Structure 1
Amino acid sequence: MVEHSGLLGFAVRLIIIMRRGLLLITTIVFDCYGTLIDTGKGSMTAVEQILGSRQSDMDPKPFYETWKRNHHELCRSGIFQAESDIFRIGLAQTYEAFNIQGDPELDVRYMLNTLGKRAVFPEVPAVLAELSTRFRLAVGSNSDHEPLLADLSRNGLDIGPIFSSESLRVYKPSVEFFAKILESLDCRPSEVVYVGDAQIEDVKGPSALGIRSVWINRKNDKRLHSIPEPLSECSDFKELLRTSLDF
């Protein structure tokens, strides 16, 4: 009887060890914009410049919101195009929606000129330095590759593998985006946590592949009903250090 109890106890401990092994997080992949890098008012400034160049007195906010919505729909269409082209096509659609006579080929330069020139959130470098002692770090972001590299470099963020939508030829929230990252990192979904600020792209997207996520919710948004519960929700990047990522 004692022998059976001993075997049973060993089996239980073995199962626990195996389950913990399957849940062991070794790698954190970060979204860039809105997570590591502050997009600030660059996009709104670009919209104001565009409308000014067309002598339009339209309120820039609805123009920006429509352009942003067009941008997301194009990224989620399943047809890959460079983000610079998506900016241009989305601008053309927005001009049409508001009956503004413009030249998307020319005017998109105001938006493209803001790329690669954005600043890191102040708390990010110290948090990344701490996390890098415990995990392998990577970046996976919806962006053309060159401006992504420029923003990370100019802000002194020396992070391991960098995956852009341009290098992967697919956008979040597609499962293919995350599958390609896992393949390149040689990781199982259970070994990776994805950290980002967008509910659809950064929480729902990776969850479809079994990757757990941490939602950086700086704006205190309510979680959408269609979004699975993340591993953790943080009001700022520093909270990552208080999130249990070791299982």
Structure 2
Amino acid sequence: MLSEQPAPLVAAFAGLGGQRVWSLMISLFGDLAQGNGDAIDGPVLSTIMAALDVRPEASRVALHRLRNDGWLQSRKVGRISQHSLTAQGRAESAAASPRIYAAPPDLSEPWQMVMTEENGREIDATLRAEGFIPVMPRVYVGRSESTAPKGSLPLRGETPPDWLRRAVEPTALEPEYDALLHALSTLRGTLACDSHMNALEIAVLRCLIVHNWRRLALKHPALPGGLIRSDWSGYQCHLLVDQLLNRHPRPALQDLAAASAAG
């Protein structure tokens, strides 16, 4: 059963973009039911989506789309439908999870700069695949352990100037990171440290956090810690996401079912 607690949680994120129902479901299943054999009961899913202010018809359309796309599968167990990730859905969720759930980077983390002999799509693709970020023609930066391609010139990074730190930030996402930081800060203020939340309420909370963090963090390469400004809104978001998810651990599927049945 859900109390009135999810309402202010949902309201904190209401002004953010990217709240498509099918995408919310991907975040929800990726967080709660990523393991092989994990499934979310239909009544549990309906309760969570309703708490997220999603209409039943919109949930049905999203489920239909994700089944057609090969992300979700459904089966009947008695009178209850159970929904789970397909092998494809589990694989893609697992591939994104290290980035979504990673701890905030150490701001003293070593980094490197790589200079290439020439420009070109092939060398650019190779460097980006290794996590390097372009900062100017023929110049890339990345983590110290990333492998620079043969023929390039890797240079050990020292204390970077502020202009270089800003150059690697995804400036196009700055307004969205600022908005997310405001939402997360509001959320932290709304949630008292000792407030009791049942399994369903925690599932709603985690879905909101994971979804809104995921849709920004996966749009750009991970920045080397040694190049991150401590006051960059993306880093401040990461700190709050990590804090809130650790404070409210992922509920067990059986606890979700029990909380739903109690309602």
Structure with higher RCO (Cα < 8 A, 6+ apart): 2
Tell me if both proteins adopt one fold, taking TM over 0.5 as the criterion.
no
TM-score using structure 2 length: 0.24
TM-score using structure 1 length: 0.25
